A = this chain, B = another copy of it.
Amino acid sequence: MEQERPLPSVVERMWGREPVPRRGPRPRLDLATITTAAIEIADAEGLGGVSMASVASRVGVAATALYRYIGSKDDLLTIMADGVAPPPPEPEGRSWRDYLALWTRIQRDLLLEHAWLLSVGRLSPPLGPRRLLWFDRALAALDGTGLDHGEKINVASTLTGYALTDAALVHGIGGGAPQPEEHAIGGAAEYGEVLAGLLDPAAYPALSAAMRSGVMRGAEGWVEDEDFVFGLNLLLDGIEALIGRRASEERSCCGEGVPE
């Protein structure tokens, strides 16, 4: 059962399994160098600034030389998306709830810090070593809760998704770092005003009422930390309820099952 399946070469590369050449000149670069260069560009100029040419020139080679290390630009983006992730915090000593709250928050902050991730990561599930490490720690934090493997996975997926959703919202509405980009709307307050002026109260009664009520006028108020915590607690409450249910089931029905 050992890697019989031929993995996509991107994945091999991400895991450091690049074929080491025994002949010929030494490679002037390696994946890490290219990846960090690309990430730096993306952080500074956004995804639009990341071209084969720009990355190559930053590491001091011709554009086409990069194809010795990656198969395509898409591959580069995939590797970048894994490469930005720092090591996750360790769950030890924390309750599952505290840990997952932290875990989710850091992910969201990371997404805001590297907003270009929002335009990348979404397709295809994670296969890189760093993101999978994050995943592992979430599952580990749920050990002893009585959830089965599938439930743990679902919980982790849902929380990751929430981090993404929230980051996208904050970024889209202009609450994050004020990147001088193409966005026309700059802040929740302005968004609210635009909508209030745009909507026909007859066709959009509820939304129109909400916008005219001034909820969005809280300057930094909306779409900020408070709202992140709000939704997060919605989820954590749901998870806690599930765990409670599992615990009572376990106590009542079966002396010994296969909880994991």
CB-defined interface of A197-214 with B at 8 Å, one 1/0 digit per residue?
Answer: 111000111111110010
Chain B nearest CB: distance from A196 CB in Å? 7
CB pair B210 A152 closer than 8 Å: yes
CB pair A213 B260 closer than 8 Å: yes
Residues of B close to A139: CB separation below 8 A: 206-207, 210
Known: A136-B205, A235-B235. A7 touches B198 (CB 8 A): yes
Known: A7-B194, A197-B3, A198-B15. A185 touches B124 (CB 8 A): yes
CB-defined interface of A46-76 with B at 8 Å, one 1/0 digit per residue?
Answer: 0000000000000000000000000000100
A105-153 contacts to B (CB < 8 Å): 118-119, 122-125, 127, 132-133, 135-137, 139-140, 143, 148-153
CB-defined interface of A216-234 with B at 8 Å, one 1/0 digit per residue?
Answer: 0000001000010011011
Known: A198-B7, A239-B234. A207 touches B157 (CB 8 A): no
Looking at A27-35, A164-172, A248-256, the stretch in contact with chain B turns out to be A164-172
- Beyond known contacts A127-B195, A135-B207: 19 more, CB 8 A cutoff: A74-B182, A118-B122, A122-B172, A124-B173, A124-B183, A125-B191, A133-B203, A136-B207, A149-B209, A153-B210, A153-B222, A157-B169, A157-B231, A158-B234, A161-B165, A164-B165, A235-B235, A237-B241, A237-B242
Supply 16 A–B pairs (Cβ within 8 Å), ascending by A.
A2-B197, A3-B197, A5-B194, A11-B184, A11-B194, A122-B168, A125-B173, A132-B207, A133-B204, A136-B207, A139-B206, A150-B215, A150-B222, A157-B231, A161-B165, A234-B242
Hey, which bits of chain A sit against chain B, CB under 8 A? Answer: 1-5, 7-8, 11, 15, 74, 118-119, 122-125, 127, 132-133, 135-137, 139-140, 143, 148-155, 157-158, 160-162, 164-166, 168-169, 171-173, 182-185, 190-191, 193-199, 203-210, 213, 215, 222, 227, 230-231, 233-239, 241-242, 260
